[in-house]
Amino acid sequence: MSHVEAKAKALFTEIFENEPQLTTIAPGRVNLIGEHTDYNGGYVLPCAINFHVVACASPRHDSKVRVISANHHNEIDEFQLSNNIAASNKLWANYVRGVVQHISLSGHNISGVDMVIYGNVPQGAGLSSSAALEVSIVSSFDQLYSLHLSDTDIALIAQQAENQFVGCQCGIMDQLISTNAKVGKASLIDCQSMQTKHVSLPDNFSLLIVNSNKKRGLVESKYNERRAQCEQAANKLGLSALRDISLADFNRQQHILDPIIAKRARHVISENERVIEFVEAMSHQDIHSMQRLMKQSHESMRDDFEITVPEIDSLVNIIKSEIGDKGGVRMTGGGFGGCVITLLPTDYVDWITSVINSKYMTTTGLIPTIFVCSAVQGVHSKHSNIASYTSRFVS
Ligand code: GAF
């Protein structure tokens, strides 16, 4: 049992004076390539990582929901089930309330719960701590009340909560990878059909995540603005989504767009093509092409989508200048701060870690946090009353 799970369980037992009937574990994610393509109906290539949100829960016979967050000084949020739950003044609680409201709105028959949540997914780092929280809660209700939700159902309810209750117009990538990830694999997701193909990561390579620790500001409003700009581009080009045009066709038509809108669209359309090329390169362990595509992806986010910040660009430059063409590096996630992902030979990890530690601090005054991560399975639950381990989505 991980220390996150042990802590959540111990807290539940202490507060509710009984063991939880169910423990649900949902992972965060890192995206290898395919940024801001999901809400444009495009392709993404994330994998779930070994950082989780754990929800310990027991059902109630009434309609009260009581949730305690061990990440927020054991604050409690308490409300009644309904199709119209009021917003809380606590941000973390709104993820819970939104999810519960959307389970109700989907017409499922549920009662209340007692729940403790605790996670170690770094918050505000672009590693999907919010999606892991949402998925852990939807999945807990699914298991406790036998709702028989598919992984896509769970992801969609979680996304609706974030879009409509919290107010971030995110796509489906984070919620879907948190439900359907496979051990040791990245997932090529077609965000229009939601079809997922699990692909192996290259042998003898490691995924190094470096958190810039640059505090992100106004992320939701900038994110929503980018999404609106993409929709504006698609409308003007007469498309239902930007995934429906090739880069070659776009280049012929882009003159009809406002220059800023054209830059935003170019990022999305070129990024979609990079994802497909990257997966092809990965299947041949063609590291040279993979590092080129990660470099182009970063430059496109920096110059066309304008979602990087100087600290992130500096991290990418430091790593790039050290590893050359031996591995790839790019910003990962929604942007405006957060993390970079480096795919590099495992032999280089210790050396690059010490280089980053010394150079990043000198350049930016910030201390980075560095983790080597592994690709883990999606959400899964343990039922204490039947003493069995029910693992969703493991073939
Ligand atoms: C955030 C969003 F939640 C995702 O849907 C995705 O758009 C990502 O930013 C950017 O690729 O994580």
**Is the Cβ–Cβ distance between 208 and 372 less than 8 Å?**
yes
pLDDT confidence bin for 197, thresholds 50/70/90: very high
Whether pLDDT at 58 is above 80: yes
How far does residue 351's CA lie from ligand 1's centre (Å)? 31
Whether pLDDT at 127 is above 90: yes
CA end-to-end span of the chain: 22
Average per-residue pLDDT for the chain: 94
Q: In this structure, what DSSP letter does residue 172 have?
A: S
pTM to 2 decimal places: 0.95
Provide the 10 A C-beta neighbour count for residue 113.
24
pLDDT tens readout for residues 8-21? 999 999 999 999 99
- Gap between the Cα atoms of 177 and 324, Å rounded: 30
What was the pLDDT predicted at 218?
56
Indicate if ligand 1 lies below 6 Å from the C-beta of 335.
Answer: no
- Gap between the Cα atoms of 35 and 301, Å rounded: 8
Whether pLDDT at 394 is above 70: no
Structure tokens at 75: 């604050």
Whether pLDDT at 38 is above 80: yes
Determine what percent of the chain is predicted with pLDDT higher than 70: 96
For the chain, where are the alpha helices, taking DSSP H only?
Answer: 3-16, 91-105, 129-144, 151-160, 173-180, 219-236, 247-253, 259-283, 287-303, 310-323, 349-364
What was the pLDDT predicted at 31?
98
- Gap between the Cα atoms of 6 and 271, Å rounded: 41
| 36 known member of a binding site | yes
ipTM: 0.99
Tell me what the mean pLDDT of segment 79-84 comes to: 92
Whether pLDDT at 100 is above 70: yes
| 128 known member of a binding site | yes
Q: Which atom of ligand 1 is nearest to the CA of 227?
A: 7
- List 62, 174, 286, 313, catalytic entry: 174
- Gap between the Cα atoms of 273 and 245, Å rounded: 10
| 124 known member of a binding site | yes
What was the pLDDT predicted at 390?
40
Tell me what the mean pLDDT of segment 102-110 comes to: 95
Whether pLDDT at 387 is above 70: no
**Is the Cβ–Cβ distance between 345 and 372 less than 8 Å?**
no
What was the pLDDT predicted at 217?
62
Indicate if ligand 1 lies below 6 Å from the C-beta of 304.
Answer: no
**Is the Cβ–Cβ distance between 306 and 318 less than 8 Å?**
no
SS3 for 10? Answer: helix
Whether pLDDT at 204 is above 80: yes
Provide the 10 A C-beta neighbour count for residue 286.
16
Residues whose CB falls within 8 Å of the CB of residue 76, separated by 6 or more in sequence, listed in order: 66, 67, 68
**Is the Cβ–Cβ distance between 304 and 266 less than 8 Å?**
yes
pLDDT tens readout for residues 364-373? 999 999 999 9
- Gap between the Cα atoms of 198 and 181, Å rounded: 8
Going by alpha carbons, the residue nearest to atom 9 of ligand 1 is 334
pLDDT tens readout for residues 235-256? 999 999 999 999 999 999 999 9
The separation between CA 190 and the C-alpha centre of its own chain, rounded to angstroms, equals 15
Whether pLDDT at 297 is above 70: yes
- Gap between the Cα atoms of 7 and 257, Å rounded: 53
pLDDT confidence bin for 392, thresholds 50/70/90: very low
Indicate if ligand 1 lies below 6 Å from the C-beta of 338.
Answer: no
Q: Give the long-range contacts of residues 322-327, CB within 8 A, separation 24 or more.
A: 322/352, 322/355, 323/348, 323/352, 325/287, 325/288, 325/291, 325/292, 326/287, 326/291, 327/205, 327/287, 327/291
Tell me what the mean pLDDT of segment 356-382 comes to: 96
Indicate if ligand 1 lies below 6 Å from the C-beta of 38.
Answer: yes
β-partners of residue 211 are 339, 369
Indicate if ligand 1 lies below 6 Å from the C-beta of 171.
Answer: yes
Q: In this structure, what DSSP letter does residue 238 have?
A: T
What was the pLDDT predicted at 191?
98
Q: Which atom of ligand 1 is nearest to the CA of 172?
A: 5
Structure tokens at 31: 């995206």
**Is 174 among the residues known to form the active site?**
yes
What was the pLDDT predicted at 389?
36
What was the pLDDT predicted at 391?
34
| 134 known member of a binding site | no
Q: Which atom of ligand 1 is nearest to the CA of 34?
A: 11
Q: Look up tokens 């009340």; give the residue.
A: 145
Residues whose CB falls within 8 Å of the CB of residue 185, separated by 6 or more in sequence, listed in order: 47, 198, 199, 200, 201, 375
- Gap between the Cα atoms of 119 and 132, Å rounded: 9
Tell me what the mean pLDDT of segment 155-174 comes to: 96
Tell me what the mean pLDDT of segment 227-237 comes to: 98
pLDDT confidence bin for 221, thresholds 50/70/90: confident
What was the pLDDT predicted at 215?
78
